[in-house]
Structures are given as structure tokens and as C-alpha cells.
Chain A
Amino acid sequence: MFDAILIRFGEIGLKGDNRGFFESTLINNMRKALEGTDSEVIRSSGRIMVKTRGEHARILTRLQKVFGIVSMSQVKIVEPEMESIYRSAQEILDDCDPKPSTFKAESRRADKKFPYTSPEISGKVGAYLLEVNPELRVDVHQPEVTINIEVRDKQAYVFKDASAGPGGLPVGVCGRGLLLLSGGIDSPVAGWMAMKRGIKLSVVHFHSFPYTSERSRLKVIDLAKVLSEFNQGLNLSIVNMAEIQETIKERCPERFRVTLLRRLMLRISERIARRSHIQTLITGESVGQVASQTLESMTVIGDAIRMLVLRPLAGMDKIEISERAKNIGTYNISILPYDDCCSLFLPRHPVTKPQLNRVQEAEAVVDWEPLLDKAVNNLEIVEL
């Protein structure tokens, strides 16, 4: 019964000169998200609107994954004259389930040539609805439903209260980031949070086939697909660490294995990021959860590269992260029992507070450059 979805965006308005760029990014993202639906995203007099021909449930679900949308209203578009407005208001009321017992009407007159003022329009619509629906009452303070009327020069919009969108900033307005995606619960959530702040994601995953199963690779692709919906397309690089892990195991002290592996993963990530002009890395680390996530460990690991590393989960605990993962839709994939970077290489007693000079000494016994080159040159790219 509705003709369009009216989109509201919040933070974009605050960004002054960049507004045009933000708006066009949002519109592009919406268009990508709505590919394959019978709809059209248009910009008209400072508003973004999706013209539709049915399929509202499907379209609303997809728009829920476009960051930057603060709220959405399904609207009826009619002739700018009172009879049509009355009829639409009644239809919207009839569509409410359960039937409201109180309401108010709110109006905005953009077209000043329209014969009635905004308060007059609200008054007339209110009076009409009261007459047709004798059980209905007006409550201007806490109405169960608000009927909005907006009169423009060629048409009028009639709609009820807005539903919340995902909020945040349109993906892409704050640059690009490379997410280190494992098969676990945390890293997909970190990626989601980065996207919410307007960062367009690429993803890198490290595996160690044949030490690990092909299934863990499929699991990561499934996770990346979920993230891709918020990112409006995603590029996944899969890097095989088997040879590097073998070398670490052979040549370096057992207790530094995790620290060294993570340093090398960061180096590979930095290379991938630089060659794609990506400005930052994003990881799912949270402070103090496991041995490698002490401040000492993070310092020594982060020392391996000269690039910004964002850790959006730094201050979150496991329960919060799991809840978020359930809402995003990655939790049930993450808990499938396939290892990624092989636990067979894990030391029995990993060092929790590594000293930088010791780690550097341990690392220096191997010339890593050829191994890193090989890993980067042989990576597999999956476009989602």
C-alpha cells in the first residue's frame, strides 16, 4: 500500500562541506544494497527516498544493513489536496496492528501556495479521522500513532512514525580498512564496528592448510559473506601460513611462537593494505582476554609494522561481543568447530609478557622477506 520509503540520516548533516560526498556515498551504498529489487533510490529537495513497487519487507531488511540511515518511514505519495490526504491517513490507520486508541496528526507545509497552514492541515486531518473512527481519541503528548503529512508542490506524503535504521556513517566516507578475520567470534564484530564508523572493509584471512581443514576456509567465507552485506561487497584475501609456521616451529623458541606468528601476520597485512591503498588494519583484539592480548604483547606485536591498527573491541568483554555477534548474524557461524591457524603449532606455555628485544632476537635468525613475498604472491582472492 505504500509508494516509497523516506530515509533520514543524522551525523551526515553535521559534516559541513563534506555533506555532498557523504550523501552520494550513502545513495550509492543503498543502490548496491537494493540491487535485484524493484526500487529506485532518488534524491529530491534535500531528502533521500526509495521509490518502491511492493516488496517492502525485503527492501526494509536490506536497508537495515546500510550504515548512515538513522530512520526510515514508509510513505504514501498522493495529490496535494485534502480529500486524497484524508483517504491515505485513514488507510494508514487501518493498516496499524493492533488498532491504536490514540493518535495525533503532524504537518509540514513545504509548498507555501497550499491553501492551508500546517496547523490547519493537522486540525482538518484530525477532525476527519475522529469523525470516521468514533472510538479514536487525540493525545498530543503520548499518541500511540502519529500521522505525518508533508505537503510539497506536486505531491503530498502521508506516513506514520519512523522505524530505526542501523545508524552510523555510510561505509566508505571514512576511508578503507583491512580486517584480520579469523574464524572466531571477535573479529567479525570488530569489522562490523569499523564499518559502522564509515570504514570500507577489505578482509584478510590466514590459514595453514594442509595442517588445517578446508572447512575452516569455507567457514571464513561464510563469515565474510555476512560482513559483505553491510559493506555492499567485500574482497577477501586468503593467505597460507603453513610454511611460515613450519619455519617458526623449526627455528624459533617455542614460547615466542604466537608472538612471532602475529607479528608476521601483521607484516603480511600491511603489505596487502599498502598495495591496495588501505590506510588502517583492524583486529578483533580485546584487552586481557588471552595471553597474546596483554598490553605487553600488543605492544611487541604492534611494533612489527608502521601502520595504524584499530582495535574496536578493546574495551568490550566476551559477553558483550557475543551478543553483538548474534545480532550481526556471525555468532552461529563462528562457533562451528573448525580451527584456522593450526593449534598444532601452539606452544604449551606461551609468553604472556614478551620483551621486545628478546622477540626481535628470536625473529632475526630467519630472513623472512622471501617467505613473506611468497605468502603474499600466492594469496587467493575471493570477491563477495
Chain B
Amino acid sequence: MVNNREIYLDNSATTPVFEDIADRMREIAVQQYGNPSSLHRKGIEAEILVTEARMQISKAMEVRPEEIVFTSGGTEANNLALLGSVEANRRNGKRIISSEIEHPSVLETLKRLEQQGYEVLYCPVDACGRVTPDALSSLVNEDTILVTIMMVNNEIGTVEPMAELVRAAKKVNPRLVFHSDCVQAFGKIPLNPVKIGLDLVSLSAHKLHGPKGVGVLYINSRIALKGQISGGGQERKYRSGTENVSGIVGFGMAADRAVSGMSEHSKLMNGFKSLLIKRLQEQKIEFRLNGPPIDEGAPHIINLSFPGTWGEVLVHFLESQKIYVSTGSACHSRKADQSHVLKAIRLPKREAEGSIRISFSVMNTEEDIETLAQELASAIRRLKARR
């Protein structure tokens, strides 16, 4: 049986842009194309659009609009957060603390800081991918200037106990800056930086049906941060460069929608997870859930291992049925490609090899999940028969 409908289940990688958002962005690109810095009416018109989008994002996180800085995406937001806060606070100390399961845009930036002479410590995680407040606070000292820990892990969906982590770290050293990469969390679980105590928060538009190429860094107004891109001084000198007006408007719309529908969306996607697990059990497929129990993880991410198969091959088998999922660990022949997250939760090699990540969006249906379960089961049977 060949399935002819496209089933997209790789929404942690990126999401399709909602039609009306794409339409609005096109309209801006051809009609309200002004440069927000221009003195004339076309410029003011564009500036107002950016201001409105800034309001939407700040409302979604219950922060002040002037604490929102638009960037070119999550990666730039993470770079700016880390490099900018360290540069502004370098007199206060040399230690930076992170976790073993961060996104490469954090880990690679930390490597650069290490080369500059900073001491970077990586807090281990438990078998579910959680950083514990005790483990974190044991690393914090007087010399610590920055802690950066992601809110939701992109590969296994772990939700970090962020409020407790912030409290534990700041109890030891109240002066440190606490950053969180919330790219996978925003719009999926409640996110209120002020309540949690976060100083810096990174967001990205394309994970919630907004466009690629737009992100946000929330900068608490009490925090010193040095911009990393010099130029015309846009975004209050934190981020020079002509604003991506259509992208920013798209982000505002997407954020508004994601946050206002959050509890309903989360119920829907949690339902997908339970349904998939149930069907796999009925089909007597041997599998293991990686990361947190399904009711504790982020609603849209589930990571499963099918021992005796290869994740990469499962991806291609499903792809041949127009079902798109992702793998954390690439082909076993290339060590460099093994997932650092699966390694950090100490998943045995055989299970890491056979792991895939399935990530949902509100555009999926139960029927998608039924088809996925069927095709997944048949691919696994075909592969195992050949071992």
C-alpha cells in the first residue's frame, strides 16, 4: 500500500508557515516595504508594524516590549546572549555553567568562550535528560558569571525544572546571569521569564508556524549585555541591521496564535503521543521511550528507540511512504554523528542507533498518527527480518 498524503512529523526541525501568515508577509514585502529607520511615511508605517509585533511577543511572555530584541533566529539569539553577556560581565568572573544536552548553537559558542579563557562546566543530566537543582548549584561559585540551560530539549522533549534551577543557582550567586534557550518551549508550554527568574531567553519563529530567519532575545532590563553586530544601531544597539519587517510581523502573528491556543494544542499533541504508544504496543513492536515519561515531556516531542533497527534507515523507509520524521543518531558508521543528547542520558549504543524523533504540530491529525504507527510497524518488521 502506498500512502499518497504527505505526513510531516518533524516539527521540531521546522514547521510549515500558516497560510494567512505567509499571505500577510507577502503583502508587507511588496506594499509596506519601508525601512523602519526612514524619516518618511513609508518608514513610519514599517516601524509601526515592528512595534505591534514586539507588543505581541512581549505579551506572550508577559514582559515589557523594550525587553524584546529581534534577531535572525534562535542561533543568533543564543550567540548574542552568551557572547554579549559574558563580554559585558567579564570583570565579575570566569566561570560559565551549562548542561550536556544543549543545542549546538550554545555548545559551539561555549567552545569559543573556552578558547578565550573562560572556564565552562557542563552539568550532567539524569536518565530523563533533567538537570537537577542540586547538581547545578554544586557547580555555581562566586566566580560564576553565566548559566545557560535550555527549557525544552529538542531531541527528547525533556522539560527542565527551570524555576528551581534559577532559584538554586542564584541562591549561591545572586549576581550571575541566567540564560535559557527556549526555542522548543515557546508556544508549547507556559513561559514567563519574570516568574521563572530568567534574565535572557532565546526564541525562534519557525518552530511555531512562523517564518525562518527571525528570532528573539528577551533581555531583562536589569542585565548588562553587549551587542555583537555593529552597524546602524537598530534594536537599541543590541542588534544592528535593517529589521526583517515581514518576518517580524510573521513571528508576532505566530506567537500570538501559539500562546493563545496553548492548552488546547497541548492536549491535542499529548493525545498523539499516547495514541502512538498504544498502537505500537498493540502491534507488539519492541520499543523504548527515550527521555521523560510522556506526561512529563513537552507535548510535541517524542523520542523512541527500536532496538535492532537503525534510526537513519527508519527515516528513509518512512520517507518512501511520504512520512517525515527525524533521527537523533545518524548511521552507526560515523561516530561523529552520534547524538550528544542520547549519550548524555546514557542510552546504550544499540538503542541509540535505532532511535527516531517524532515531533507533532497542531496541523497533524489522529489519522496521521494511525498511518505512522502502521508504516513504522511494517518498516521495523522488514528490517528485523533481515538482520
Q: Which residues of A line the B interface, CB within 8 A?
A: 209-214, 246, 249-250, 337, 339, 342-344, 346
By the criterion CB–CB under 8 Å, are A210 and B386 in contact?
no
- Listed in ascending order, the chain B residues whose CB lies under 8 Å from chain A are 310, 312-313, 316-317, 319-320, 331-334, 386
* Shortest Cβ distance from residue B16 to the other chain A in the assembled complex, whole angstroms: 20
Question: Chain B: interface secondary structure?
Answer: loop
Cα distance A348–B312 when bound, in Å?
19
Closest residue of chain B to A213 (Cβ to Cβ) is B316
CA distance A209 to B313 in the complex (A): 9
What are some 13 contacts across the A-B interface (CB < 8 A)?
Answer: A209-B316, A210-B316, A210-B317, A213-B312, A213-B316, A214-B316, A214-B319, A249-B386, A250-B386, A342-B313, A343-B333, A344-B310, A344-B331
* B372 CB, nearest partner CB in chain A, Å: 15
Q: Which residues of B have CB within 8 Å of A212?
A: 316
A209-B316, A343-B333, A344-B333 are known contacts; what are 11 more A-B pairs with Cβ within 8 Å? Answer: A210-B316, A210-B317, A210-B320, A211-B313, A213-B312, A214-B316, A250-B386, A337-B334, A339-B331, A343-B331, A344-B332
Question: Taking each of A209, A246, A344, which has the highest tally of chain B beta carbons within 10 Å of its own beta carbon?
Answer: A344
B312 surroundings in chain A (CB, below 8 A): 213
A339 cross-chain contacts in B, Cβ below 8 A: 331, 333
B320 nearest in chain A by CB position: A210
CA distance A249 to B332 in the complex (A): 17
Contact B333 A211 (CB under 8 A): no
Question: Closest 8 interchain pairs by CB?
Answer: A210-B316, A343-B333, A210-B317, A210-B320, A246-B386, A211-B313, A249-B386, A344-B310
Give B347 Cβ to nearest chain A Cβ, in Å: 19
CA distance A343 to B334 in the complex (A): 10
Contacts of A343 in B (CB 8 A): 331, 333
Contacts of B332 in A (CB 8 A): 344
Is A209 touching B331 in the complex (CB atoms < 8 A)?
no
Q: List residues of chain A with CB within 8 A of the CB of B319.
A: 210, 214
A199 to B5, CA, bound (A): 45
Q: Closest Cβ of chain B: how far from A319's Cβ, in Å?
A: 23
CB–CB A209/B320 < 8 A:
yes
- List B contacts of A250 (CB < 8 A): 386
On chain A, the residues within 8 Å of B331 by CB distance are: 339, 343-344
B66 to chain A, nearest CB (A): 44
Q: Which residues of B contact A344 (CB under 8 A)?
A: 310, 313, 331-333
- The answer for the CA separation of A339 and B319 in the assembled complex, in Å, is 17
* C-alpha gap A210/B319 in the complex (Å): 8
- Chain A residues within an 8 Å CB radius of B316: 209-214
Q: How far is the CA of A213 from the CA of B319 in the complex (A)?
A: 10
- Inter-chain CA distance A249–B331, complex, in Å, is 18
The complex places the Cα of A365 from the Cα of B316 at a distance, in Å, of 30
